[in-house]
A and B are shown apart, each in its own frame.
Chain A
Amino acid sequence: MATEATGAPAGATPPQGGNQTTAAPVNPATTTPANPAQLTPAQLKAKAKADKAARRAQVKETKAVVAAADAAKTTVDAKGNKGKGKQDGPQSQSKTSPQHRASVSGRRPSTLAVEKDVRSGIPECFSHIPMAKRIPTAQAHKDVHPAVLLVGQQMATFAIKDSIARLEATLLAFRKVIGSYETPKGNSLSRHFVPHVLNPQIEYLTECRPMCYSMGNAIRLLKAKVNDFDIDTPEEEAKEGLLETIDLFINERITLAEFVIARNAAKQINNGDVILTYGRHRLVEKTFLLAKKNGQLFDVSIIDDPYDRGGQELASSLQQVGIRVFYSPNLGGLRANVERATNVLLGTEAIFANGSLHAAAGTADIAVAATNASKKVIVLCETINFDRERVSVDALTYNEIDPEQNTSESFRLLFDTTRDKYITGVITEFESGTGNSPAQAILALLRKQEDPTAIA
């Protein structure tokens, strides 16, 4: 089985790389007969020692291949400079992030081999779901900007993990990329920047961890902005324009949004309420602190995620300002917690076009329990986290595997999908004042507001 696993991608590569003449010498390196032969019995026996040896062998192999691949790329790039925009992959990738992986690994067969090994424990029925992975900086594409390299590492290790933090870090890194960009002679920024500079950064980030939907939205807007520039816009002016766009974006869609949402949500908290929340979400925490500052007297009941334990941090930050906190370490006390609560306040990673939440695994269980007990379920979400293209009715359509929990025995999904019927209302920075608009209404507004720019 192991031979098949390692053999298949290598065998599949030639047709993909067929138009890249230089990709051909890369393949023999992966299929060097000695290596898979060593691998197979080792993996079959699955003995720790043998496994370790196999891993070492693979790392060695990878390094060799990467060297070869890098060599290959330089030639491709050289070609790309002559005949423009040779890489079709990246452009299509940036539109639909979950598909990045496939084309990326097509470009670099070696990563697929390593990935197969890491992913070998994943049950067949979840094998379509992507997983974050640490890429040694040495293996990254040479065009990746150091700032982006750093952000990529932070994302792969989940040092930066929630959607808005990732978005902000990405935008700030892109600011540096733009700052240090110089248009090559005979090229225009509006034609050269996206395919040759921006796309490799996006690709790398996606490889580290599948993009979140806010990143997808932001990148789409950024690309639209670049496309807006006339072909002979002076470089400095274009760069200024892009930097301004990013700054405005961070101010409006992140900083201001957070403030407005917390303000609107805090109005929903009344004296004597017991608010149930799950884990730790920035917006929810802001809301609690603001409501307390506004003088509301309420209790908070936190159900924590035992695989994250963010709830403990939330608990101590709330307790410092004098909010009474009930803390449940896991969903075990869900029934009692829901019964005690007056309403439920949840944060989310994203909201899909059909109004489903894409949020930390466990959120759906809480929303269902609260709905069954006829409690209000209010979701806080910035509009940048709305995905207007994707629709999801179950958690296996769009998800990520938790790399920390991925062993041959165990398995964990990072997110789950909460259908809109389990949500009473969504509070965004949009509908100021009304906390109970369904996600669909906000989506409709967003469509109206953003579509012109999106098409351009």
Chain B
Amino acid sequence: MAPSQASYAPSLGKLLKSLNGQTLEASIESLIYLLKRRQIKGDDCADATAHLLRQVVAKSKWSDVDQLLTRVQNVGSRLAQAAPHEPTIGNIVRRVMGLIRDEASEDRNADDFGSESVEDIQTLSVNAPQPPKPAPFTSRPPTLATVASFHASKAKSMFNLLSVADTLDSPATGASTPMSQAQPTSVSALRSEVLDGINEIMDEISQADDQIASFAEVQIQPGDFVLAYLPSRTVERFLVKASARRRFTIFIASLEPPQASSSNDPYAALRKKLNAGGVKMVSIASNGLMAYMSRVNKVIFSAKAVYQNGGLLVDSGASVAAQAAHAYAKPVIALGGVFKFCPEDPSDEIAGETGDSSSYVSYADGSKVDALEVENTVADYVPPELVDVYLTNLGPQTRHHLASIMADHYKPEDVGFSLIPGEV
């Protein structure tokens, strides 16, 4: 929820500061703890993951691409398991792994061919013979094999590590193997290239909100009544940007009344900014949203993740807003950077996640505590048919275009990554 943003932001900052001073393992552990305690959540997860993977690439010892991939994958799945409710962690891990594969093949091909365009074709032709393309399942056995062999070799010497990598270099082990041919001499070059690539991902994450906001003017027209459900930082920036050029009215909706302890308005800062732009902001203190929908022109909220079917993982209650909008045939605009696009199918467990119930039933009331099965849902799923526009840092998208964006950003062999258990 919005009010808590202020309280968890420092812990991310602290973590990022400490990254350089700590050993890699300590950094991983402290991030895992922060994720488990949900002191880092939402968009910060992606940022933190990218920072940590950067450390993995920079600090850990690796001598070829497969080792690096395995390292990243192991750390990645530990993070993803620490916060299964944050699919963006997996997205970033996939992005980094794809990046490593790209850089590695680029390196290798750069030796053979001079130009990049030829290299692209080469990559295609290398990948083409691997039979079935929808890869989660075909890619699993080889990656599992790499994990296993990595562990098997762990106790052995550095020399053995290399030799294990060599034994993997057989056609049967799948797409990742050819890259293990990368020469040890190119390790430092590869490292710096991968680090640059991760920096780019980090830039993408940090700039996503601004880029999304740049489409605000197109989406919001003068005189609109916009319903923003639990505005995240992304939505806030979007609205503030729109307020610079447009006069409209914003309804802010949430399921719960503001906490009794904090009597002040959680959106005071946003209100101030919007009022400065001459935009009216009204908090709608209501459980249901159907009552207001006849007045509303469009509904805006941010997605925590966009699944490959076009469904959204959202804050609890956003599906109520989307459903009400749908009933009145009002457009629903979901905001979210491309890094939130998750090449998976939605999971019921995450979308039906329940949270703390203590604020709803007083523990002083024993009979109620015993009797009630309180279900405080904290995450929610919006089915694809309720979403009209996916507004990303690459511009507005439709459901039909999502697949090609996913394909652009993830390698098929990395799609199934989170299925693999971490270090056993």
A residues near B (Cβ < 8 Å) are: 123, 125-126, 304-307, 312, 315-316, 319, 324-337, 361-366, 368-369, 372, 394-396, 399, 402, 405, 409-413, 415-418
Tell whether, in the assembled complex, residue A334 and residue B320 are in contact, meaning their CB atoms are under 8 Å apart.
Answer: yes
Segment touching A, from B159-167, B200-208, B360-368: B360-368
Cα–Cα distance between A410 and B266 once the two chains are bound (Å): 11
Residues of chain A contacted by B360 (CB below 8 angstroms): 304, 312, 327, 329
| A364 contact from B225, B255, B291, Cβ within 8 A | B291
Q: Which residue of chain B is the closest to A421 with respect to CB atoms?
A: B327
Could you tell me the distance in whole angstroms from the C-beta of B56 to the nearest C-beta in chain A?
Answer: 36
Cα–Cα distance between A115 and B319 once the two chains are bound (Å): 37
Q: Does B214 contact A (CB under 8 A)?
A: no
| A411 contact from B271, B283, B288, B317, Cβ within 8 A | B283
Residues of chain B contacted by A305 (CB below 8 angstroms): 287
Segment touching A, from B104-112, B374-382, B415-423: B374-382
Q: Which residue of chain A is the closest to B379 with respect to CB atoms?
A: A332
Q: Does B22 contact A (CB under 8 A)?
A: no
Contact with A along B276-307 (1 / 0, CB 8 A): 00001011111111111111000000000000
Could you tell me the distance in whole angstroms from the C-beta of A288 to the nearest C-beta in chain B?
Answer: 14
Tell whether, in the assembled complex, residue B294 and residue A395 are in contact, meaning their CB atoms are under 8 Å apart.
Answer: yes
Q: Does B121 contact A (CB under 8 A)?
A: no
Could you tell me the distance in whole angstroms from the C-beta of B270 to the nearest C-beta in chain A?
Answer: 11
Most chain B CB neighbours (cut-off 10 Å) among A332, A336, A363:
A332
Q: A332-B317, A335-B380 are in contact. Are A307 and B257 (CB under 8 A)?
A: yes
Tell whether, in the assembled complex, residue B376 and residue A412 are in contact, meaning their CB atoms are under 8 Å apart.
Answer: no
Q: Which residue of chain A is the closest to B324 with respect to CB atoms?
A: A365
Tell whether, in the assembled complex, residue B376 and residue A362 are in contact, meaning their CB atoms are under 8 Å apart.
Answer: no
Cα–Cα distance between A372 and B320 once the two chains are bound (Å): 12
Tell whether, in the assembled complex, residue A330 and residue B317 are in contact, meaning their CB atoms are under 8 Å apart.
Answer: yes
Most chain A CB neighbours (cut-off 10 Å) among B265, B361, B371, B380:
B371
Q: Does B373 contact A (CB under 8 A)?
A: yes
Q: Which residue of chain A is the closest to B354 with respect to CB atoms?
A: A333
Tell whether, in the assembled complex, residue B376 and residue A368 are in contact, meaning their CB atoms are under 8 Å apart.
Answer: no
**How many residues belonging to B are interface residues under a CB distance threshold of 8 Å?**
49
Cα–Cα distance between A324 and B375 once the two chains are bound (Å): 13
Cα–Cα distance between A399 and B378 once the two chains are bound (Å): 30
Most chain B CB neighbours (cut-off 10 Å) among A304, A335, A369:
A335
| A410 contact from B282, B294, B295, Cβ within 8 A | B282
Tell whether, in the assembled complex, residue A306 and residue B288 are in contact, meaning their CB atoms are under 8 Å apart.
Answer: no
Residues of chain A contacted by B256 (CB below 8 angstroms): 306, 329-330
Tell whether, in the assembled complex, residue B249 and residue A125 are in contact, meaning their CB atoms are under 8 Å apart.
Answer: yes
Q: A327-B373, A334-B320 are in contact. Are A417 and B291 (CB under 8 A)?
A: yes
Cα–Cα distance between A363 and B289 once the two chains are bound (Å): 10
Residues of chain A contacted by B351 (CB below 8 angstroms): 335
Residues of chain A contacted by B374 (CB below 8 angstroms): 327-329
> Could you write out 12 A-B pairs with CB less than 8 Å apart?
A312-B360, A312-B368, A319-B371, A333-B352, A365-B288, A366-B288, A368-B324, A410-B284, A410-B285, A411-B283, A415-B291, A417-B291
Residues of chain B contacted by A327 (CB below 8 angstroms): 360-361, 372-375
Tell whether, in the assembled complex, residue B371 and residue A316 are in contact, meaning their CB atoms are under 8 Å apart.
Answer: yes
Could you tell me the distance in whole angstroms from the C-beta of B5 to the nearest C-beta in chain A?
Answer: 18
Could you tell me the distance in whole angstroms from the C-beta of A443 to the nearest C-beta in chain B?
Answer: 22
Tell whether, in the assembled complex, residue A396 and residue B368 are in contact, meaning their CB atoms are under 8 Å apart.
Answer: no
Q: Does B67 contact A (CB under 8 A)?
A: no
Tell whether, in the assembled complex, residue A306 and residue B287 are in contact, meaning their CB atoms are under 8 Å apart.
Answer: yes
Residues of chain B contacted by A304 (CB below 8 angstroms): 360
Tell whether, in the assembled complex, residue A395 and residue B316 are in contact, meaning their CB atoms are under 8 Å apart.
Answer: no
Q: Does B323 contact A (CB under 8 A)?
A: yes
Cα–Cα distance between A337 and B378 once the two chains are bound (Å): 14
Q: A316-B368, A410-B283 are in contact. Are A364 and B376 (CB under 8 A)?
A: no
Could you tell me the distance in whole angstroms from the C-beta of A321 to the nearest C-beta in chain B?
Answer: 11
Tell whether, in the assembled complex, residue A394 and residue B373 are in contact, meaning their CB atoms are under 8 Å apart.
Answer: no
Tell whether, in the assembled complex, residue B255 and residue A412 are in contact, meaning their CB atoms are under 8 Å apart.
Answer: no
Tell whether, in the assembled complex, residue A123 and residue B280 are in contact, meaning their CB atoms are under 8 Å apart.
Answer: yes
| B287 contact from A125, A362, A372, Cβ within 8 A | A362
Tell whether, in the assembled complex, residue A413 and residue B292 are in contact, meaning their CB atoms are under 8 Å apart.
Answer: yes
Tell whether, in the assembled complex, residue A336 and residue B352 are in contact, meaning their CB atoms are under 8 Å apart.
Answer: yes
| B295 contact from A396, A412, A417, Cβ within 8 A | A396
Could you tell me the distance in whole angstroms from the C-beta of A340 to the nearest C-beta in chain B?
Answer: 10
Q: Which residue of chain A is the closest to B284 with respect to CB atoms?
A: A411
Residues of chain B contacted by A416 (CB below 8 angstroms): 288, 290-291
Residues of chain B contacted by A396 (CB below 8 angstroms): 291, 294-295
Could you tell me the distance in whole angstroms from the C-beta of B135 to the nearest C-beta in chain A?
Answer: 31
For the complex of A and B, the 9 pairs showing the least CB-CB separation, nearest first, are: A362-B288, A332-B316, A364-B290, A416-B291, A394-B294, A333-B377, A395-B291, A319-B371, A410-B283
Could you tell me the distance in whole angstroms from the C-beta of B236 to the nearest C-beta in chain A?
Answer: 16
Q: A335-B380, A410-B282 are in contact. Are A365 and B373 (CB under 8 A)?
A: no
| B288 contact from A324, A337, A363, Cβ within 8 A | A363
Cα–Cα distance between A405 and B291 once the two chains are bound (Å): 15
Q: Which residue of chain A is the closest to B370 with respect to CB atoms?
A: A319
Cα–Cα distance between A415 and B375 once the two chains are bound (Å): 25
Contact with A along B313-334 (1 / 0, CB 8 A): 0001101100110010000000
Cα–Cα distance between A137 and B151 once the two chains are bound (Å): 82
Which residues of B, 193-216, contact A by the 8 Å Cβ criterion? none
Could you tell me the distance in whole angstroms from the C-beta of B316 to the nearest C-beta in chain A?
Answer: 4
Cα–Cα distance between A395 and B375 once the two chains are bound (Å): 29
Tell whether, in the assembled complex, residue B323 and residue A361 are in contact, meaning their CB atoms are under 8 Å apart.
Answer: no
Q: Which residue of chain A is the closest to B359 with respect to CB atoms?
A: A329
Q: A365-B324, A394-B294 are in contact. Are A332 and B371 (CB under 8 A)?
A: no
Tell whether, in the assembled complex, residue B282 and residue A412 are in contact, meaning their CB atoms are under 8 Å apart.
Answer: no
Residues of chain A contacted by B352 (CB below 8 angstroms): 333, 335-336
Residues of chain B contacted by A316 (CB below 8 angstroms): 367-368, 371-372
Tell whether, in the assembled complex, residue B291 and residue A413 are in contact, meaning their CB atoms are under 8 Å apart.
Answer: yes
Residues of chain A contacted by B319 (CB below 8 angstroms): 334-335
Tell whether, in the assembled complex, residue B286 and residue A412 are in contact, meaning their CB atoms are under 8 Å apart.
Answer: yes
Q: Which residue of chain A is the closest to B290 with respect to CB atoms?
A: A364
Tell whether, in the assembled complex, residue B371 and residue A125 are in contact, meaning their CB atoms are under 8 Å apart.
Answer: no
Q: Which residue of chain A is the closest to B382 with respect to CB atoms?
A: A335
Could you tell me the distance in whole angstroms from the C-beta of B130 to the nearest C-beta in chain A?
Answer: 39
